[in-house]
Amino acid sequence: MDQVQQLVLDPLKPYLLPITTNLPGALNDFIINLIGAPCHSGLLLDLDFAPHPECVSLAISKALGIGIITAASVVKVPQIIKLVKSQSAEGLSFSSYLLETASFVISLAYNIRNGNPFSTYGETSLIAIQDVLISVLILVYSNRTAQAGAFLAAVGSAVYALIVSDTLVTGAQMTSLQAGSGVLSIASKLPQILTVYSQGGTGQLSAFAVFNYLFGSLTRIYTTLQEVDDKLILYGFVAGFFLNAVLALQMVYYWNSPTTAGHGKEIAGAWKKGPQGVAQKAPAALATEENIKKAPGTPATTTARPNSSSGRRRG
C-alpha cells in the first residue's frame, strides 16, 4: 500500500484533490454514511491510503456490495426472458427455486432485524422477488396454475410473519431460522444440480445467472468477513459458493449438449453463426437434416421425426 501511495496517488494528488474535495454535497453525505467520516476524510479529502488500510478494505467491501446489489436487480432477468420466450420449464427445478426463495426471505428478515448494513444483504430482496416470479412461471408452464396461486399466498404469509410483524416470530426463533436458512440455501442447489445431471443438459437454465451467482457468492464471503461478524451468514455464503461452482462446472460441461439452450448467445450476444442445441432448431431444419441422411433416390419427406431428447417442450 505504501508503494501505491508513493508511486501512484502522491503524483496524482494535484489533479485529483480538486475533484475529491469538491464533490456534490449529496454524494459526500452518501459516502460518509457508507464508510464513515474518518475514512471519508482520509481517503477522499486527503487521498492518504497508506495510513488507513482498514478504510481501504471497508471501501472495497462497500463498493463490491453495491455492485452485487446492482447486478442482483437484473441477475435473473435473462432466466425470466428465456422462460417466457420458450414457454417451457425444461431443465429447471421448482424445488430448487422454492428452497432458495425460503432461504432468501429468512435471510432478509434476519439481517433486517439485526440491523446489518444494507450493502451486505440487499441483493437477497431483489433476487427473492425474481425467484418468486420464476417459480410461478415454472408452475404455470407445467400446467399447475392452482399451485402457483398457493405458492404466492405462502410467500406473502412468510413475508408478513418474518418481516412485517415483529411479534409472531421471536428473536431466538429468528436465529434458529437463519441457521436453517443456510441448510435451505445448500439444499436449494441440489435439485437443480440433479436435474441438470439427469437430463444431460442445462435446458432453459440461464448461464448468465449461474456465473453471476458464482461471482456473487465469492464476493459475499469477502464483504461478510469485512463488515458482519456473524458465522451463520458466513458459513451459508461459503457453502453456497461451492455448490454454485458445481453448477458452473455443469454449465461448462454441458455447454453444447442437445438439451442445452444457446448459452453462447446469452453470454456473448447474438451470434450470426455458432453451435446450436437440437432443441433450438426449427422443425424445417430438422426435416432438412432427415432428408439429407436418406439414400439417393429416396423421396424426401416434409415431416421431421420427433426428437427423443428431453429438449422437447413440456406442457
Query: In this model, does residue 90 exceed pLDDT 80?
Result: yes
Average pLDDT over residues 102-130: 91
User: Which H or E run includes 71?
Assistant: helix 53-72
Q: What is the DSSP letter of 294?
A: S
Give the lowest-confidence range in 14-23, 76-85, 180-189. Answer: 180-189
| Mean pLDDT for all residues in the chain | 80
Q: Residue 288 has what pLDDT? A: 38
Q: From CA 263, how far away is CA 46, in angstroms rounded? A: 47
Closest CA to 315 of 138, 149, 147, 193: 138
Q: What is the DSSP letter of 115?
A: T
Length of the chain: 315
Q: From CA 216, how far away is CA 120, in angstroms rounded? A: 11
237-287 residue pLDDT tens: 888 899 889 999 998 998 887 766 555 555 555 334 444 433 333 343 334
- The amino acid present at 271, given as its one-letter code, is W
High-pLDDT (> 90) share of the chain, %: 29
Average pLDDT over residues 55-84: 89
SS3 298: coil
The more confidently predicted of residues 204 and 250 is 250
Cβ proximity of 232 and 103 under 8 Å: no
Cβ proximity of 203 and 90 under 8 Å: yes
Query: In this model, does residue 129 exceed pLDDT 50?
Result: yes
Cβ proximity of 169 and 178 under 8 Å: no
Radius of gyration (C-alpha) of the chain in whole angstroms? 25
Query: In this model, does residue 144 exceed pLDDT 90?
Result: yes
Domain boundaries, the chain: 2-51, 76-264
Q: Residue 204 has what pLDDT? A: 75
10-19 residue pLDDT tens: 888 888 889 9
Q: What is the DSSP letter of 306?
A: P
Q: From CA 198, how far away is CA 192, in angstroms rounded? A: 10
Q: From CA 14, how far away is CA 7, in angstroms rounded? A: 14
Give the lowest-confidence range in 142-146, 184-188, 270-274. Answer: 270-274
Residues 6+ apart with CB under 8 A from 96: 188, 189, 190, 191, 192, 195
Q: Residue 145 has what pLDDT? A: 92
Q: What is the pTM of this model?
A: 0.66
- The amino acid present at 241, given as its one-letter code, is F
Q: Residue 220 has what pLDDT? A: 87
- Cell numbers describing residue 10: 502522491
